[in-house]
Every structure is written in structure tokens, then in C-alpha cells.
A and B are shown apart, each in its own frame.
Chain A
Amino acid sequence: MILQDIINTLSLPEFYFAVFRSATPVLLTTLGAMIASRSGTNNIALEGTMLISAFVGVVVSAFTQSAWIGFFGAVLAGFLISNILAYFILKLNSNSVISGIALNTFASGGTIFALYLLTGEKGASTSLASLKLPSIDIPVIQDIPVIGAILSGHHVLTYAALILVAVIWYMFKYTELGMHIRAVGESPDAAESVGIHVKRVKYTALSLSGILTGMAGAFLSMGYVGLFSAGMTAGRGYIALATQAIAAGNAVIGMLASLLFGFCQSLANYLQSSGIPLQFIQMMPYLIIIIAYTVYCAMVERNKKKKQMRAAAGK
């Protein structure tokens, strides 16, 4: 019965459309996490950054009545939060994990505090007339059967995220900034010795991670839902830490890992009426990501050992 449900779901074009939709915020955040991580800093504050950006996007769009100004506000908020984090980590020598947790604490309480000030409610921004960013139909592709239904008509930020995968892949491979970020992350001393301004590169990397995460926040509150609700990020910032680890610095693998999450998430949404207890469906995306991450880590370790053995045998 359940297998039949799954097979039915997997044959729907709408299902694959939903995969991209669910993957978008995680993908943007994964890319952000990746840039930070490659520069040698783990950005644990992604969860809180995304939440604050989602909130700011809704508020700014409601007050300016412009979705794009709202989007800009969300991205700016992401930029500012990641710079606060960068200031504490790089300037004041704080522990990056603990500072990140502090900012997440700030975000979860602070957004509710501010929401109440603005609306008198603590749950959601239903009383604010906030705006959504548009979806885009792609000419030609939208007319192809099946593929059109899957690939066309997505939210503008979904396309932006996919384009950014290519941009960031290119950045790491071919641009000076990308190479500097990698150099700083792999060996800050060596980077310093060839004249790279290590701290500036790290600031830049964290800023970029904040900007990308800000976009993810904007997608959550200005995408399909069109409102802010307390705790709406639901751990996506933490999932991005796992997908980022799986990607190991490769934007394309980061995209695939994010799509895996999107796949589980939208399968979960489709199976809600299938008779599997709701809670098991809800936990599935997290469980699958844990498994994928653990398998990845075990494989890396095995390869490392094999290499060592081969080196030892070579002697």
C-alpha cells in the first residue's frame, strides 16, 4: 500500500517541481556554509541568520510595499548578522560555534520580540501586508511536456540558487577571490606569507555566506508562503551544515545533497495522507541526511586509510 503511494508520487511531475522548491532554501544556505567553511570558519549562525532575514524581508516589504526592497532588506540583514559573527570570531577571537549559538538564540527570541512590537502577535505576521517575490515561466521550456512542468514556473530565487551553483563553482575554480578563500582556509599562514590579507578574505567569505543565507530567508517568508512565522526555518540552517560537509567544497555536490533533502522533504509532504504516522514522515528528511552524511564520512575515512596502506606498502 505504502509502496504503491510512493510509486504514484514518484510518477508525478508536480512532485519533482516540489523537490526543487523544497531544496531552494537549503541549497542557498549550503552554498553560504560552503564559502564560510572553505575560508576556514564554520558558520553555525546560519539558522539564526536565515530566521532574521526571513523576518526583515517580510517587514520591509510590508512597509515599503515593494517585494524587491524587502528582498534587499533580507539580504542586508544576512550581511549584517554575518559581519557581527565575523567581528566576534576574527576580531575578538571568540569560539565560532559558541558565537554562532549566541546569534541563533538572539534570532529565535529577537524575531518574536520584534514581531510582537510590530503586530501584537507572537505566532505569525498575518496582519502585515507583506509581498511575495515572483515566479518565472521560462519560454520554450514551459511548453515541453513533463519537463516544462518540472523546470518552469519556479520562484525567481530557485533559479537564482541554481545559477549561483555555477557561479560559485566557477568562483572557486577560476577567480582570484575563490583561490584566496581556499588558500586561507587550507593554510592561513602560507596564505599570509604570499601576501594574502587573511582576515579580509575571511570577512568577505563570511559576508558572502550571510548574503546567500539572507536570500534563503527571503525565500522562506517571501516565496510561496508570504508571511513570517516564529521558528519557520525549522533547522534548515543546521541541515545546511550537514549538506555542506557532504559537498566538501564542491558546489555541484552541494546542489545534489540539497536536492536529496528536497526530495525527502517533498516526499514527506506527499505521503502525509498515506497512513504512515505523520511524525515518521516529518523525521525522515533529517534521518536520511544523517545517513548520507555518515556514509560520506565513513567513505572519506576508508579512502584515507587505503591511501595510507598503499603508501606503506609502497615503501
Chain B
Amino acid sequence: MSKKFTAVRLLCAFGIAFVLTVAIIFGVSEEPVTAIYNLFLGPLQSKRHFFDVFASSVPLIFTGLALGLVFKSGNFSMIADACLYTGAVVTAALAIKTALPAGLHPAVIMLLAAVVGGIIGSIPALLKVYFHTNELVTSLMFNYVFFYLGIYTVTKFLADRAAGTFASLKYQPTASLGSLISGTKFHAGYLIAIAVVILLYLLVYKTKFGYEIRISGSNPEFAKYSGINTSRVIILTQVIAGAVAGLGGSVEQMAMYQRFNWQDSPSYAWDGVIIAILSGNNPKNVPLAAFFLAYIRVGADLMSRRSDVQNELVSIIQAVLILFVTAERFMAGWKQRQEAKKALGGEA
């Protein structure tokens, strides 16, 4: 029953988002059919666009995993934003300043970006454990601190003065995760993302530590009294989540960019919230949830290029989905009627 209810509710949330999207497009556009066609079917029009969806889903998989893990442990840190951004800056620095053989270069870079991400991820957790601060509040502030630190690093040490805009020097050709299917952006980073999905799934559902994470999240009081070291759970989950986000920033840079030009922090960490929610904080479902958001993103980009509707429409869809998917009592009336029907039917 409850599984069916969840499915129906999910479907209704998607239905509301869909109807609202179509209504907005008809309201604002002079070519609504073109816009709707490109938004929903654009990515299917060519092999290139379809594989773009996979490529665009890679950073979303990483942040979705990171936030899902933190949510699972009952915490609420947004530090993944800083981890991802700084991981990308570390990647830029190493991709420009170091020289290593082709296979080894990306591996070393990813490792260091993950380590830096993990260290940054630990900060709000450590402050929470030792000074009883709220990790959401401190992580939101630290995101700005690390963003400015990153901008400073790039402008001071890595900038290409000849570029004319904010951009670093070009990365060494060895520091690249190349495309796996020619003519598309489908890159090796996707396989790394899937490998992390599997690792995190095993961690959360097949290890003792994973059990501790789940108990700490679902029943913190019980966790404390059953002898689980909750401080350790808080710190370690956020270190792992930070490392995953840092790795995500690194993969994204090496796969999709030849120089660093993130003048604003990309919204991947915030997108991670909806991925985590749609996946039910289960790593197993993250690639699908990320695929969905990436599909809409690619479609929206095509829509804004080929019609008069702008791709910011996606954040409206995203917000509506988050609101309705997480609304516990949304459709509660429907559930009650179903249960009443069942109960009455059982009596008869």
C-alpha cells in the first residue's frame, strides 16, 4: 500500500509539474509547440543530444550522492557546493602546473581533489560536533568563503592574462577524461560516477558503518543509546560526501573543460537536493534521478535556442517537483479514501 501510494504521489507531483510547465509555456510563448517539443523530445532528436544527457548528468550524480548520504545520516549540510567548486579549482591548478603521463595524471588529480573535498566537507561537521553549531548555517557561509578563495587562486596563480575574460591557462592534454563515443560528449567520467554509485550503495546498505549511518538518520536517540558513536558518523559521512563532491568537480573539469572559467559557482550542489530527494537518498536510484534532471536541462537548452522560452524554466519545474514530492500530506486524502475503501471491502 505505502509503496503504491508513494508511486501515485510521485506520479501526481510529476503531473502537476508537467501541467504547470505547459501552462507557463503557452502563457509566455509565441511558438509554444516548438518550445514544448524541444523541451520534452529535443534530447531524443539526435545521438549527440541524447549522449549529452549522460554527460550532463555526471556532476548531478556526484552531488546527488553527496547530499543523499548527508541526508541519510540525518544531517543537512550544503558544503558540497564548496567541495565541488574547490575540487574543480584544485583540478585546474594540477592540470596546468603538473606534468604526468596520460593515465596517471587524471588519477592523481582526482585523488587530490577528493581529499581536498573531504577536508572541506569535514569543517561544518567538526564545528557541529565540537561547538554545537548548525551545519546548515555554517556550510552556507563557508560556501562563500571557499568560492572567493577559489576565485583568488585562479586569478592570482592560474589566470590567462591574454584571455580577456576570467579564464585560466589551458589544461595539459594529459589531464583530460576523453570522450568514449566519438561525436558525443559521453566521457569516462560517467563510468567513474557509476563506480562511486556502486561503492556508496555498498557502503550504506552492506556495511556496519552504513547501518550506523541509517540508524543515526532515522532514529538518532536510539542510535545514541545503542552505543553508536554519532559524532564519528556525522564527521565521516560529511567527509565522504565532501570527497564525492570534490571528485565530481574534478571529473567535470577534466571531462568538459579545457580551462577553468567558473566565474559563478555552478548550482550542482543545489541540484543535488532534488536528485537526493527523487532517489529517496538511495545511491542505487541516483543515476536515474540525475538522468531525468539532465534530460530536462538538455531539453531546456534546446528549447531556449530554438524558441522564445528561456531555460530558467527548469528551476521552476525543479522547485515544484521538490515541493510536491516531499510534501508528506500531499494526497493524504486520496490515501485515506483508498484505505477506507479497502477496509470496507474487507468487511463485506
**Genuine A/B complex:** yes
A277 to B149, CA, bound (A): 10
Contact between A235 and B152, CB atoms less than 8 A apart? no
Q: Does A156 contact B (CB under 8 A)?
A: no
Q: Does A297 contact B (CB under 8 A)?
A: yes
What DSSP secondary structure best describes chain A's contact surface? helix
Closest chain A residue, CB of each to CB of B331: A92
Contact between B131 and A109, CB atoms less than 8 A apart? no
Closest chain B residue, CB of each to CB of A93: B328
Contact between A294 and B144, CB atoms less than 8 A apart? no
Interface set, chain B 317-348, CB cutoff 8 A to A: 318-320, 322-323, 326-330
A282 to B326, CA, bound (A): 36
A235 to B312, CA, bound (A): 20
A104 to B145, CA, bound (A): 20
Q: Does A116 contact B (CB under 8 A)?
A: yes
Known: A98-B273, A105-B322. A235 touches B314 (CB 8 A): no
Q: Which A residues are in CB contact (< 8 Å) with B296?
A: none
What DSSP secondary structure best describes chain B's contact surface? helix
A235 to B138, CA, bound (A): 12
Contact between B273 and A290, CB atoms less than 8 A apart? no
Known: A98-B326, A113-B316, A279-B149. A245 touches B277 (CB 8 A): no
Q: Does A169 contact B (CB under 8 A)?
A: no
B-side interface size class:
35 or more
Contact between A294 and B316, CB atoms less than 8 A apart? no
Interface set, chain B 119-155, CB cutoff 8 A to A: 127, 130-134, 136-138, 140-142, 144-145, 147-149, 151-152, 155
A106 to B313, CA, bound (A): 9
Interface size on A, residues (CB 8 A): 47
Contact between A282 and B323, CB atoms less than 8 A apart? no
Contact between A277 and B137, CB atoms less than 8 A apart? no
Q: Does B310 contact A (CB under 8 A)?
A: yes
Contact between A98 and B316, CB atoms less than 8 A apart? no
Mark contacts of B12-48 with chain A using CB atoms, 8 A cut-off: 1 yes-contact digit, 0 otherwise: 0000000000000000100000000000000000000
Q: Does A199 contact B (CB under 8 A)?
A: no
Q: Does A91 contact B (CB under 8 A)?
A: yes
Q: Does B201 contact A (CB under 8 A)?
A: no
Q: Does B270 contact A (CB under 8 A)?
A: yes
Known: A101-B273, A110-B312. A92 touches B327 (CB 8 A): yes
Q: Does A159 contact B (CB under 8 A)?
A: no
Q: Which B residues are in CB contact (< 8 Å) with A160?
A: none
Contact between A279 and B152, CB atoms less than 8 A apart? yes
8 contacting pairs across A/B (C-beta < 8 A): A95-B326, A99-B322, A99-B326, A231-B264, A279-B148, A286-B145, A298-B131, A298-B132
| B residues at A contact (CB < 8 Å) | 28, 76, 127, 130-134, 136-138, 140-142, 144-145, 147-149, 151-152, 155-156, 264, 267, 270, 273-274, 277, 310, 312-316, 318-320, 322-323, 326-330
| A residues at B contact (CB < 8 Å) | 44, 88, 91-95, 97-99, 101-106, 108-110, 112-113, 116-117, 122, 231, 235, 238-239, 241-242, 245, 277-280, 282-283, 286-287, 289-290, 293-294, 297-298, 300-301
Q: A44-B136, A103-B323 are in contact. List 16 more A-B contacts (CB 8 A).
A: A88-B323, A99-B322, A99-B323, A101-B322, A102-B322, A102-B323, A102-B326, A105-B322, A113-B315, A235-B141, A235-B144, A242-B138, A242-B141, A278-B152, A279-B149, A293-B137
Which 6 interchain pairs have the tightest Cβ spacing?
A: A109-B315, A106-B319, A279-B152, A92-B327, A102-B322, A93-B328
